[in-house]
Amino acid sequence: MTISQQHDEQPPAPQGKHHIRLPGEAQAYWVTESGAGELRGESMPIPGPGEALIRTLYSGVSRGTERVVHEGRVPERVAERMQAPHQEGDFPGPVKYGYLNVGVVEQGPQEWIGKTVFSLHPHQDFYVIPANQLTAVPEDVPARRAVLTGIVEVAINALWEAGPKLGDRVAVVGGGLVGGVLATLLRKYPLERLQLVEADPGKAQLAEKLGIEFASTEDAKADCDIVFHCSASNEGLKLSLQLAGDDSDVIELSWFADKEVTLPLGEDFHARRLNIRSSQVGAVALPRRHRRTNAQRLQLAASQLKDPVFDTFLTSECQFQNLPTTLVKLFEQPGGFCHVVAYPNPED
């Protein structure tokens, strides 16, 4: 019997918060201590008015951010600000963390039932969430690819922050998941120049697949109108300042967590009047904040995933029951983009 069927046997849900435990439990992934995690049982509330029961199909692991969480490296000063929307527990742990979840609506408002949806929910096989926090996945976007919705949202916010214009010269420094997705979106802009800049020569294959120019850190072209920094490294940010043209902007997408950064501010930054601006997805970028909501930004992100080139960024997969052991190995290995977690079908 599925949890959905179990819900059908329950009496009508009362108004307000619901604390009725179902006959079965959901399973969720928790970080228990630095570098470790486990699956824990979760009591399932009955969906109330305006709420939906989701059966997860896939979730995604963003290696950079989730590695910081696993290693207990979230700075105490910003721990509250850096909480994921549906996180439970506090940093450094135990904590239920994650924000790339795609599932199907089993119960809820009639217009949502049966729809494939994205939400900013942690790794969990069943959960209840307000329906207004769901993003409908377009029918021509595969559910597996849709786990990238949250990453595309990060890239869109950075584009709104920077505002690339016709004929601009743009560099993306760092060809990881965020940098690669950002470069994918930038292909659509009528730029004079777009370079993916990376110390790893292996990322030249990614640039070729995207149809954009690859540049090593030694060969990258300077005098850029905009530089997007995505490498989360001291060296990458220093290079970004060198590539930026006079009076131009470096848009910082990296989250350095507890890593200290040392910059030669007496060189390019000061002499050429450069700007470093943070792009953080918690709020809509200021140039669009009064005209776009977070929900609209997510829906736009989901619509961009119709392009099959985004499958390039889904580079490994495991079954949900194997997630605790898989993540330990995953964070020990460099490289790769988004790791996909597949959930069992209750009918199997």
The pLDDT assigned to 347 comes to 67
Residue 123: exposure state from Cβ atoms within 10 A (0-12, 13-18, ≥19): buried
Does residue 157 surpass a pLDDT of 70? yes
What CATH number has the domain spanning 3-140+310-342? 3.90.180.10
What CATH number has the domain spanning 151-288? 3.40.50.720
CB 108 within 8 A of CB 34: no
Give tens-digit pLDDT for 323-346. Answer: 999 998 998 887 789 999 999 987
Give tens-digit pLDDT for 275-290. Answer: 999 999 999 999 999 9
Share of the chain above pLDDT 90, in %: 78
Does residue 120 surpass a pLDDT of 50? yes
Does residue 81 surpass a pLDDT of 90? no
Please report, for residues 157, 175, 240, the alpha-carbon distance to residue 169 in angstroms, rounded to integers and kept in the order given: 19, 17, 13
The pLDDT assigned to 18 comes to 37
Across residues 231-253, what is the average pLDDT? 97
The pLDDT assigned to 63 comes to 86
Does residue 20 surpass a pLDDT of 80? no
Give the model's confidence band at 25: pLDDT under 50 very low, under 70 low, under 90 confident, else very high. Answer: confident
**Residues carrying CATH 3.90.180.10, the chain:** 3-140+310-342
Give tens-digit pLDDT for 82-98. Answer: 899 999 999 988 999 99
The pLDDT assigned to 34 comes to 72
Q: Sign of the C-alpha dihedral, residues 69, 74, 76, 82?
A: negative
Across residues 70-76, what is the average pLDDT? 90
Length of the chain counted residue by residue:
348
Ramachandran bin of 129, using left for φ above 0, alpha for ψ from -120 to 50, beta for the remaining angles = beta
The per-residue pLDDT of the chain, averaged, comes to 91
Give tens-digit pLDDT for 138-148. Answer: 999 999 999 99
Does residue 124 surpass a pLDDT of 90? yes
Residue 117 backbone dihedrals phi, psi, to 5 degrees: -135, 155
Does residue 24 surpass a pLDDT of 80? no
Give tens-digit pLDDT for 159-177. Answer: 999 999 999 999 999 999 9
**Residues carrying CATH 3.40.50.720, the chain:** 151-288
Give the model's confidence band at 207: pLDDT under 50 very low, under 70 low, under 90 confident, else very high. Answer: very high
The pLDDT assigned to 64 comes to 85
